[in-house]
Amino acid sequence: MATNRTFTMLKPDATGAGNTGKIIDRMIEAGFTIKAMKWTQLSLKEAQAFYAVHAERPFFGELTAYMSGGPIVAMILEKDNAVEDFRTLIGSTNPQEAAPGTIRADFAESIAANAVHGSDSDENAAIEGAFYFSERELA
């Protein structure tokens, strides 16, 4: 059910530092089930499309250059209350403000290179998942 799913990306700092497996382990230990997973890299245009909601923000150029600069791992995760519970698991956007034990507190490098993405609503989880995965992969 869509309401029990969220979408995440491991960002280029996480894949580049060799933290992919450790971060995925955190997600599984927290009770999330992987429904789809893809190792890929975004072009700048694709990063701009994915983050279009932030187009007017001052950090848009930095964010999209960063997100297209290395490999990412896109994943659809399932769990009760997935969107909210996943945001709690990853912690605040700025790792200096992220609660101890959260993924961003333990793995993020900076506010831009903050290890993981997590959808902020059920609606955006569905949109973001469909950006990466075909209907068959989403089944």
Cα–Cα distance, 137 to 34 (Å, whole number) = 12
Which two tokens mark 88? 């709690």
Q: Give the residue, chosen from 9, 10, 14, 63, that forms a contact with ligand IDP under the rule CB under 6 A.
A: 63
Interface segment toward ligand IDP; rule CB under 6 A; list 1-9, 13-21, 27-35, 55-63:
55-63
- Work out whether 125 is an interface residue with ligand IDP (CB under 6 A): no
Q: In terms of Cα–Cα distance, which of 125, 106, 112 is closest to 1?
A: 125
Nearer Cβ to ligand IDP, position 28 or 65? 65
- Tell me the C-alpha to C-alpha distance, in Å, between residue 54 and each of 36, 47, 77, 90: 25, 11, 23, 20
The DSSP bridge partners found for residue 78 are 5, 33
User: CB under 5 to 8 A by kind: which of ligand IDP, Mg ion, none does 93 bind?
Assistant: ligand IDP
Q: Tell me which residue has its CB nearest to Mg ion.
A: 120
- Strands (E) located in 27-85: 33-40, 72-78
117 catalytic? Reply is: yes
Write each residue from 86 to 105 as x if it is in contact with ligand IDP (CB under 6 A), else as -, in one continuous string: -------x------------
CA dihedral 60, 66, 71, 76 (to 10 degrees): -30
DSSP structure class, residue 2: G
Catalytic choice (5, 11, 104, 117): 117
What amino acid positions are annotated as catalytic residues? Answer: 117
- What is the contact surface with ligand IDP in residues (CB under 6 A)? 54, 59, 62-63, 93, 111-112, 114, 117, 120
